[in-house]
Amino acid sequence: MSTAEDNVVDLETKKNHAAPPDVRKVKPPVDPDTLDHLKMKDGEFWRYMYDVDKATFLDYKWQMKNSLYKLDKLFDSLEGVAPKEFLDDAAEGFRRAPMAVRVTPYLLSLINWEDPWNDPIRTQFIPVASSMVLDHPMLKLDSLHEQEDAPVPGLTHRYPDKALFLPLNTCPVYCRFCTRSYAIGIDTETVEKVQLKVDPERWEQAFEYIASRPELEDIVISGGDAYNLAAKHILNLGTRLLEMDNIKRIRFASKGPAVMPMKILTDDAWLDALSRVNDLGRKLHKHVCLHTHFNTANEITDITRQAMNVLFERGITVRNQSVLQTGVNDNKHDMTRLVKRLGEVNVHAYYVYQHDMVSGVEDLRTSLQTNLDIEKWVRGSLAGFNTPTFVVDAPGGGGKRVAHGYEYYNRETGVSVYTAPSVKPGQFFTYFDPLHSLSEDMQARWQDPVEQRIMVDEALSAAQQGPR
């Protein structure tokens, strides 16, 4: 079989037609930087912040107990580690942030505290006032309308064949950019209370609905986060769903592997429950997987590798969904490094999401153009099955659309328009680039409600005229 590559003939090679091909001339040696994804942090990298031995650091209970969500505790542990100006900046950030904060020692120990402002892990979890910018005027909480597509509480049935089940609303960490800030971790006091309220009674309503809809084949068990479900609940939820005739595939969604991989190494009950569900799935010829959420290669260490190896040995498929974020992974180098490192630990890069329109985290969003540019670079740099699909979760409930599949995109106003014929036929969905990615004139224009209408109408009517 001939490939495109075979047809690229190097002049050197052509000259020596009869001689055996010299492979070094066809492909020059790679720059060692391109193999950076292989160099994961190992050893006791946490020691500079936590003077504990390996067994303690790997103990998931220790990680949970020492996770920080109160400002003063966080500051105590950063005293002398982070610059004073940073602590002041973060204190103000905490006061203004819409989302609760919670972060594990594992993550804290991976942050570069010499320059925390530019660290991709800090950026995701610890708000700073200095980076906060104005929300786009078109932005709403629950921009995905998950509540509107919910036939019973905590079950979103948007696509015909699949549903999103939210059995709990707590997570091992809280991400600044969470789309479910309408439900997740409202404040630290309630978080502790709600955590106990994992409610198997409420789940029954969801099971009943799922069983009553023959078109439903695929259930995403999200949250919150499946890491926070007790082993018996993992087993119960998984078994109940797999035993339904209509259900063919289930996925547990958890940020856990990215923020506390040690749980897989030390919480035997939880791992065994997941394995048992996976084994049951195999027996019933139904697919069980774990969907996780790494956003930067810095989150993937040798501990992650050990944890992912355990899952791999047990035959548990792990897929990853990332969110494109400014300062985290919004350039071709960082995104490629992430995707390659995922491959290295046998995690399939499934999606990269355009950042949803969530209030209070405008600094994290990028323009759609950034997404398109990075996708072009990533595709082709590794195996196709390890290459994520870059998507926009169309605000207003259109569901996920391939980012470059827009009907119209005005790069000046920053308005893009999508359609989703199999999900919401006849409807148009708009996404808005963040103001900070637009010209100053355009930013001013967005402050005027009349101009807002004109810009949205322009995009919609252009989209209605059909393909560009």
- The reply to whether 158 sits near ligand PLP by the rule CB under 6 A is yes
CB nearer to ligand SF4: give 86 or 125.
Answer: 125
Using the contact rule CB under 6 A, the part of the chain among 122-130, 159-167, 262-270, 448-456 near ligand PLP is: 159-167
What part of residues 332-391 is at the interface with ligand PLP (CB under 6 A)?
A: none
Phi/psi of residue 165, each to 5°? -110, 125
Which of the listed partners (ligand SF4, ligand PLP, none) does 225 bind, with a CB threshold of 5 to 8 Å by partner kind? ligand SF4
Q: How far is the CB of 321 from ligand PLP (least distance, A)?
A: 8
Q: Which of 69, 159, 209, 312 binds ligand PLP (CB under 6 A)?
A: 159
Please tell me the distance from the alpha carbon of residue 288 to that of residue 445, in angstroms, as a whole number.
49
| 408-467 residues near ligand SF4, rule: CB under 6 A | none
Distance, in Å, from the CA atom of 358 to the CA atom of 136, rounded to the nearest integer, reads 9
For the chain, the distance separating the N- and C-terminal CA atoms, rounded to the nearest angstrom, is: 36
In the list ligand PLP, ligand SF4, none, the entry touching 164 (Cβ below 5 to 8 angstroms by class) is ligand PLP
Min separation Cβ 122 and ligand SF4, Å: 15
- Toward ligand PLP, which CB reaches closer, 387 or 452? 387
CA distances from 342 to 58, 88, 140, 191, 290 (A): 21, 35, 32, 31, 14
- Rounded to whole angstroms, how far apart are CA atoms 178 and 99? 8
Nearer to ligand SF4, 226 or 435 (CB): 226
Query: Residue type for 403, please?
Result: A
Please report whether residue 213 would count as binding ligand PLP according to CB under 6 A: no
Nearest CB to ligand SF4, comparing residues 219 and 242: 219
Q: Which of 233, 365, 400, 401 binds ligand PLP (CB under 6 A)?
A: 400
- CA angle 95/97/98 to nearest 5° reads 125
Q: Which of residues 116-155 bind ligand PLP (CB under 6 A)?
A: none
Q: Is 162 in the site for ligand PLP (CB under 6 A)?
A: yes
Of 90 and 175, CB closest to ligand SF4: 175
Tell me how far, at minimum, the Cβ of 219 lies from ligand PLP, in Å.
9
Largest CA distance in the chain: 77
- One residue of 59, 89, 149, 225 binding ligand SF4 per CB under 6 A: 225
Peptide bond into 224 cis (omega under 30): yes
Q: What sign does the CA torsion over 235, 236, 242, 247 have?
A: negative
- Sheet of strand 348-353, all strands in order from the earlier edge strand to the far edge: 155-156, 162-165, 218-221, 249-253, 287-292, 317-323, 348-353, 389-394, 399-402
Is there binding between residue 180 and ligand SF4 (CB under 6 A)? yes
Residues sharing a CB contact under 8 Å with residue 12, sequence separation 6 or more, in sequence order: 22, 25
Does 171 help bind ligand SF4 (rule: CB under 6 A)? yes
- Residues in touch with ligand SF4 (CB under 6 A): 171, 174-175, 178, 180, 184, 223-225, 255
